[in-house]
Amino acid sequence: MHKDDGAKTHKKGGESGGGEMKYAERPESAVIAKEAGPKKLAEFIEAASARARAEGIPLSPDGRVDMSAYRSLYGNEVDEDFQETREGQADAEEVHQKRIMTDGEKLEMLTYATLQKGLGPDFIVARSAPDDDKKRGVDTIAFDKTTGNLVCAFDEVSDMAGVEYLRKQGLVRNRNIDKGGATLKYAFELQETDGVKTIVPGRAANIPIFYIALERSWIDKGIREFNPAPDKQSDPEKKLFKYMIGTIELQIQALEFGAEESLKPELLKRLQDFKKVVESLKNKQTGP
């Protein structure tokens, strides 16, 4: 049990107290840029994060939710969470130099960039805060800026067969059915004051979670063929986004067919809302 069940006091996203540890200080984006392959991807992520911050949405340059913006909600707990996620990491730069070479890290980056561009400006796609990544097993989230609905979360796996893939498939399904979906301590909410809507730090629960699986060769090709322009998609990007939407749709159908009566009402509502988004995207893909 976390101490995050207390009262909510919000500030506009991006505000933070002075002197606290900031996730944005991580050298990850600089490390990425040294590699020729992921450089275009890193440039897109940094630019997309900067656009989000201009709207008051607390994202670090690497696309992760910036925990330092949640001090108004959690106070000193933020520092405790920072410390827990950094335990055993004596040399942060060395850690992230190693991490960026992994298939899992590349897949998280590619998923974030592909979904952000594919879902369009009405959605915030973010890589989860380090605390939610480590403790709650969520890699990526999608937030509907129009409705304020945190429609879904993703857990990525760099295998499309074998023991790890089957394990992930079962874990994700069980989380939706038995545990009511994903829970996030560092999420977003839509707050309306005098007719003005603002995205603010908040928590979220009962979020449908889906897995996205890609083979290593697909990850490498997706990164290699990625177009960093925010309003243009290469043909491989379009195919990758279509694949991601297709695999999400199949998981939605499986939950509806096999477990709809077992799902918590809030999770079911989020699931149905995102199903409408998926159907709308498919209609655009097949339209004239």
Q: Which residue range is the domain that position 274 belongs to?
A: 23-286
The number of helices, as runs of H, and strands, as runs of E, in the chain is: 11, 6
Domain assignment present for 160: yes
Q: Report pLDDT for 17.
A: 45
Q: How many domains does the chain have?
A: 1
Q: What is the pLDDT of residues 161-202, one digit of tens each?
A: 667 778 888 889 899 999 999 999 999 999 888 888 899 999
Q: Report pLDDT for 37.
A: 59
| Cβ proximity of 17 and 61 under 8 Å | no
| Cβ proximity of 17 and 206 under 8 Å | no
Which residues, in sequence order, are CB contacts of 264 under 8 Å at separation 6+? 180, 181, 206
Instruction: With a cut of 50, list the residues of the chain below it in pLDDT.
Output: 1-27, 29-34, 88-93
Of 59, 266, 113, 69, residue with least CA distance to 179:
266
Domain assignment present for 5: no
Domain assignment present for 39: yes
Which residues, in sequence order, are CB contacts of 87 under 8 Å at separation 6+? none
Domain assignment present for 3: no
Domain assignment present for 12: no
Domain assignment present for 238: yes
Scored b (16 or more CB within 10 A) or e, 78-91 reads bbebbeebeeeeee
